[in-house]
Amino acid sequence: MLSHEKPGARISNTFQGVKQTVPRYERSNRMPNRKNAFLGGAKATVPILFGVIPFALIAGISAIGVGFTQLEALGMSYIVFAGAAQLAAVDLIGQHASMPVIVLTALIINLRFCMYSASLAPHFKGLPLYWRGPLAYLLTDQTFAVCITAYVAGRQSFKHWYYLGAASTMWVTWQAGTAAGVFLGTRIPKSWALDFAIPLTFLALLFTVLKDRPAIVAAVSAGALALAGHDLPYNLGLFMAAIGGVVAGSLAFRGGKNAA
Amino acid sequence: MQLDSSTLWLTMLGIGVGTFLMRFSFIWLFGQGEVRPAIQRVLRLVPASVLSALIMPSFVFSQQAAFSIGNYRMWAGVVAAVVAWRSRNVLLTIAAGMGTLWLCSFLWPV
């Protein structure tokens, strides 16, 4: 395997057309090129789509459910392209929250993208802005997971094409899923209570992030604080709970360290 | 829905632009300045906290009195939580929660 210390340098070489050796991860005897990097990323994304499609459907259905027009519901998926933030925004809009509360909540949920951006940045060093901008727009949990795994496993060439293959597969699926949800949403009667699918989706996501004790402490504290602060104005209870959860979780980190 | 159409578009634009800037942040700045591990650890707690804070009220405070037997959303939430915990599967969790809610409302209409 080639050197790991300057992943960015490899990308710029690729860019100037410098010849690459065939890396070991390429199980085929073809030279790596744009096309099979793109297809590789797309292929690695396909199994994940089974989890994404219901989520996209719910995003469309629930937006219609709280009173979005079809254009507004589709527009949100194009503009925001981030499932959890979209669902939270729809949920809050349904509860008549004010605009700053909705925007702030969605952005807090998306804070994690800064972390992903930092991990991916060295791999995109040297790419022109017209590449890095669209790649950033397409960043999601799933694409981050697929690509960083491939990069850490040793993919050296056409990283951006691999990413593009993964990300555009996600994008197309998300938009198609939302559109299908919008179509269904206008046909499903209110009595089915499909708005309830949002907290259920979040519940499933919550259990996937409860990987260690600090995360569990954060979730339990935040949940209790949200219930206690439910009657506060301007959704202050939500922010109080989110901040309280993070603080409690951080304390659990420290407590764990002292005990060890 | 309380927001009028133009406010709604502004809201979506605000979320979209803010989200893009966070996605672009380090990719734009060439990855100089990594996120410090201490900050990363704190950031990792944000999803657990926000998700929990968002969902708890929607399970406990529905149309029915909080923590009452007639609060079907709470029971559906409990069933869904068990399924989510055991299966880690989004589809199954939604199915379990919606199924419980529908079954309760069908058996004991309010």
Q: pLDDT for B4-34, tens place per residue?
A: 899 999 999 999 999 999 999 989 986 555 6
Q: Average pLDDT, stretch A101-109?
A: 93
Which pLDDT value is given to residue A39? 96
Query: Cα distance from A127 to chain B (closest Cα, Å)?
Result: 9
Determine the pLDDT at residue A54.
83
Query: B5, A67: Cβ pair inside 8 Å?
Result: no
Looking at residues A103-116, what average pLDDT do you find? 90
CB < 8 Å to A122, chain B: 31
Is the model more confident about B97 or about B109?
B97
CA nearest to A127 within chain B: B30
User: What are the distances in angstroms from CA A222 to CA A76, A127, A249, B47, B50?
Assistant: 28, 40, 9, 11, 7
Q: What is the mean pLDDT of chain B?
A: 87
Q: Do A89 and B16 lie within an 8 Å CB cutoff?
A: no
Cβ count within 10 A of residue A52: 20
**CB-based contact A136 B27, cutoff 8 Å:** yes
Could you tell me the pLDDT band of residue A258, with boundaries at 50, 70 and 90? low
The per-residue pLDDT for B66 is 67
Are A155 and A23 in contact, with CB atoms under 8 Å apart? yes
Hey, is A19 helix, strand or coil? coil
- What is the model's pLDDT at position A209? 83
Q: Is the pLDDT of residue A22 over 70?
A: no
Give the pLDDT score at B64: 66
Both structure tokens of A256? 């764990």
Question: What percentage of chain A has pLDDT greater than the value 90?
Answer: 52
pLDDT (0 to 100) of residue A85: 94
Rounded mean pLDDT of A92-112? 91
Are the beta carbons of B73 and A196 separated by less than 8 Å? yes
- Tell me the pLDDT tens digit for each residue of A149-167: 888 888 888 999 999 999 9
Query: Which whole number is the average pLDDT over A121-144?
Result: 92
Percent of chain B beyond pLDDT 90?
Answer: 54
Specify the pLDDT at position B38: 80
AA letter at A77: S
Report the 3 state secondary structure along A182-248. HHHHCCCCHHHCHHHHHHHHHHHHHHHHCCCHHHHHHHHHHHHHHHHCCCCHHHHHHHHHHHHHHHH
**Tokens 């104005």 — which residue?**
A233
The DSSP secondary structure of B5-45, one letter per residue, reads: HHHHHHHHHHHHHHHHHHHHHHHHTTT-SPPPHHHHHHHHH
Contacts of B103 in chain A (CB under 8 A): none
Which of the residue ranges A67-76, A104-113, A181-190 has the most confident prediction, judged by mean pLDDT? Answer: A67-76
Q: Is B63 on the interface with A (CB under 8 A)?
A: no
Structure tokens at A194: 């499909």
Residues of A in contact with B49 (CB under 8 A): 218-219, 221-222, 241-246, 249
Q: Which residues of A touch B5 (CB under 8 A)?
A: 69, 72
The C-alpha of B110 sits at a distance from chain A's nearest C-alpha, in angstroms, of 13
Q: What is the tens place of the pLDDT at every residue in A191-202?
A: 788 778 888 988
pLDDT beyond 80 at A143: yes
Neighbours of A186 (CB within 10 A): 14
ipTM over 0.90: no
Average pLDDT over chain A reads 85
**Chain B interface mutation, best of A61, A207, A234, highest count of B Cβ atoms under 10 Å:** A207
**What is the pTM for the complete model shown?**
0.75
pLDDT tens per residue, range A174-231: 999 999 999 998 888 877 887 788 889 889 889 988 889 999 999 999 999 999 998 8
pLDDT of A1 above 50: no
Q: What pLDDT is recorded for position A165?
A: 97
